[in-house]
Structure 1
Amino acid sequence: MELSQPSDESRVLVIYTGGTIGMLVGQQGYVPVPYFLTETLRSQKRFHDPFQDSLFSNAASVEGYREWSSMTPRSSVPGGTGSKRIRYAILEWNPLLDSSNIEIDDWIRIATEIELNYASFDAFVVLHGTDTMSYTSSALSFLLEDLGKTVIVSGAQIPLSQLRNDAVDNLMGALSIAGHYIIPECSLFFNHTLFRGNRVSKASSYDLNAFNSPNFPPLVNVGIDIVVNWNDVIRQTSLRRFRAYKPTLRLFPGITAATVRAFLMPPIRGVVLETYGAGNAPQRADLMESLKEACNRGVVIVAISQCAKGSVSDAYETGRTLLQTGVVAGGDMTPECALTKLSYLLSKQDLSVPEVRDLIGTPLRGELT
């Protein structure tokens, strides 16, 4: 049921899964502390207006809760003509997860929480650890079909508990964009930039500019003004539960056919093959035969480039030979995107193997150039 709300108010659900953004410094380094993030935001006027009526709660639930845990002051978008109060609730996971422990079931949980709360909120922000953030944003881009609202994944390199941090800018930026703009796709916001969720990879473990999108421009740039590149924003297409085997095989000099053959044995149904350059692989007959045998058994093998910037093509003979075995070209998809797209397609039981192979090369969420 839709909840009535003032026209100058935007409601955002913040799903806090864990990650550096809400950690404290302990004896063993950064550690997650339950409810620390929510309590800290409630104590800061930039994130919580004490003069507005709001209900604060530490409740955690798969379905979230319909009451508001905190409220931002009325905010004006720099360079914009409108002004909206962004009212947001925080749904905190218990326990909080380190992003290196994120699994497919967690992607499904996030998608389900968005689905269950879809009618009550105008937009969604997912707070997440940076290590696997781009995998989650890619997965959600395929899970969230027929999306008509903004979904932003964000986090921080330095936690909110530190005096000097990037948590404030990242969270405020994500909330501001989610509260003021309808960008109906899953995106990732970091360091003043909003990226398409399935086009981004983590590039640095220590820079604040931790993510990049080498093959697709940003959707939004935040500076003195918030500039939305509307020409690059696409309209997306029900939430489906998906499960699939999801390994990645990276080619390296000297890799043996026995290694490849063992990797491709049942129950493997799909593999992302990270090739050299523009889709090249060693031209050894035993290696090509191992790949061909797997493809003939119905294993879907997607070839992408090991290069951060580039695309798989048949420009070279070594690339054409690889594709002739039945391997599918993954174009300029990132490893994270190729992995999650393959998992998503293999989970759809109504699709045959040939149909999955065809859809790998078909843009579904703007993931291919």
Structure 2
Amino acid sequence: MWEKKKILMLTTGGTIASAATDRGLAPALHADELLKGLEDLRESCRIDTLEVCSLDSTNMTWEHWLRLLEAVETHYEQYDGFVICHGTDTMAYTAGALSYLIQNPGKPIVITGSQKPINQEITDAKRNLRDSIAVAMEKDCPGVQVVFNGQIIAGTRAKKVKSFSFDAFTSINFPVLGVVQNGRVIRYVKEEISKELPVFYHKVHPKVFLLKLVPGMQPQILKPIFQEFDCVIVESFGVGGIPDSIAEEFFCQLSRYQPEEKILIMTTQVTYEGSDVDVYEVGKRIRERFRFLEAYDMTLEAVYTKIMWILGIGGLSFEEVEELFYRKINYDTSVPYGKKSGGPAGTR
């Protein structure tokens, strides 16, 4: 006899579960309420629900990522797939974080949400939820992925690019994994299901700072940043570099630490095509003096959550951090395995 697939739906709040209040939309619906009007889904699978939290995703933190991790790990053997309902504003960060905290999963872990609440007359919530459950039922769709507006996007490549439109998410510097059309899952990028057991990581290191460069930035902000944080991600202009206005103080602060004491990551504010610090003099001068990591074609969300996972392991040399950072996980980078950072060995 045919056995129904078992799906666990985890809810965190977000727009999909919101209702109108005097102060604007706020999460209000419980997990079971999201499935009202979608009863036909239960004909093809068994759906259980679990409320992890009920928040506007603006208020999601790394602690909530760990709660989602714990929920998936606790129930991993009981279900064929997982659907996480999440607010759209920080969905890409959660998708990135779970991609690193849950590695080698042999089952689908699907993250979705909506631009309009599910109880509104015109909404994308029901389609996104239906599509996500369809993907979660597919044994050939393992891994952490975002399903939105009919697209299946690797968890490390998803980015919100529109504030209001239903096609809010896109895949950055990598093709979509597939699409869902009329409930049918069409997979473009197929991955063999590993026979190895999944690995769950339970720690992240939150002392990571994102420094977004702006024209004429003043150097006095740098000292407290380097004192407080163990990793600084520089979101630079174009292909990457350090402007003259902060270069002297930046190099002064960085030279006080060994590479593993203060991890520096260079990335770009440009959404597509990635960074290449070696193109211009403003980038080459840092390449010649210091050891650092470069994001290349990775998304900012993936860079931020990946280094939090790596530093959460603890006690790693710079070479070990570097190796893990460039290791491809859930399609997050196209940098060839073993590519090294700039600066001669031992450079401070």
Query: TM-score normalized by structure 2?
Result: 0.87
SS at match of 1:315: coil
Matched, 1:92 2:51: yes
Asked whether the 8 Å contact 2:146–2:155 carries over to 1, the reply is yes
Structure 1 gap ranges (5+): 1-5, 50-70, 74-84
* Partner of residue 171, structure 1: 129
* Partner of residue 202, structure 2: 241
SS at match of 1:206: coil
| Deviation string, structure 1 residues 207-261 (Cα, Å, up to 9, x no partner) | 1111112301101112355320134788596212113112211112222332222
* Partner of residue 328, structure 1: 293
Q: Which residue of 250, 253, 261 corresponds with 2:223?
A: 261
Asked whether the 8 Å contact 2:140–2:190 carries over to 1, the reply is no
* Partner of residue 304, structure 2: 339
Q: Give the fraction of aligned pairs with identical amino acids, expressed as a percent.
A: 28
CA deviation after TM superposition for structure 1 residue 28, in Å:
1.9
Q: Which residue of 213, 219, 230 corresponds with 1:251?
A: 213
Counterpart CA distance in 2 for 1:213 and 1:169 is 19
RMSD over aligned Cα atoms: 2.1
CA deviation after TM superposition for structure 1 residue 117, in Å:
0.2
Counterpart CA distance in 1 for 2:133 and 2:236 is 38
CA deviation after TM superposition for structure 1 residue 33, in Å:
1.8
Counterpart CA distance in 2 for 1:100 and 1:197 is 18
Q: Which residue of 299, 317, 329 corresponds with 2:262?
A: 299
Letter in 2 for 1:190: F
Q: Which residue of 53, 61, 70 corresponds with 1:112?
A: 70
Counterpart CA distance in 2 for 1:317 and 1:180 is 49
Matched, 1:39 2:30: no
Letter in 2 for 1:247: F
Q: Which residue of 11, 26, 32 corresponds with 1:16?
A: 11
Matched, 1:311 2:302: no
Counterpart CA distance in 1 for 2:57 and 2:13 is 7
| Deviation string, structure 1 residues 69-99 (Cα, Å, up to 9, x no partner) | xx622xxxxxxxxxxx2211111235x1111
* Partner of residue 360, structure 1: 325
Letter in 1 for 2:16: I
Asked whether the 8 Å contact 1:261–1:291 carries over to 2, the reply is no
* Partner of residue 48, structure 1: 39
Q: Which residue of 279, 294, 303 corresponds with 2:240?
A: 279
| Deviation string, structure 1 residues 271-320 (Cα, Å, up to 9, x no partner) | 21111111222143333333343455711111111100022222223222
CA deviation after TM superposition for structure 1 residue 360, in Å:
1.8
| Deviation string, structure 1 residues 180-217 (Cα, Å, up to 9, x no partner) | 34322110111110100111111111111111123011
Rate the CA distance shift 1:361–1:113 in 2: closer, same or farther, 3 A. Answer: same
Asked whether the 8 Å contact 1:20–1:156 carries over to 2, the reply is yes
Structure 2 gap ranges (5+): 335-348
Asked whether the 8 Å contact 1:173–1:189 carries over to 2, the reply is yes
Q: How does 1:99-138 map to 2 (within 5 A)?
A: 99-138=57-96
Letter in 2 for 1:326: R
Counterpart CA distance in 1 for 2:77 and 2:2 is 16
| Deviation string, structure 1 residues 310-334 (Cα, Å, up to 9, x no partner) | 2222222322222332221111111
* Partner of residue 59, structure 1: none
SS at match of 2:199: coil
* Partner of residue 227, structure 1: 186
Letter in 1 for 2:42: T
Counterpart CA distance in 1 for 2:303 and 2:56 is 23
Matched, 1:348 2:305: no
SS at match of 1:140: helix
Asked whether the 8 Å contact 2:155–2:330 carries over to 1, the reply is no
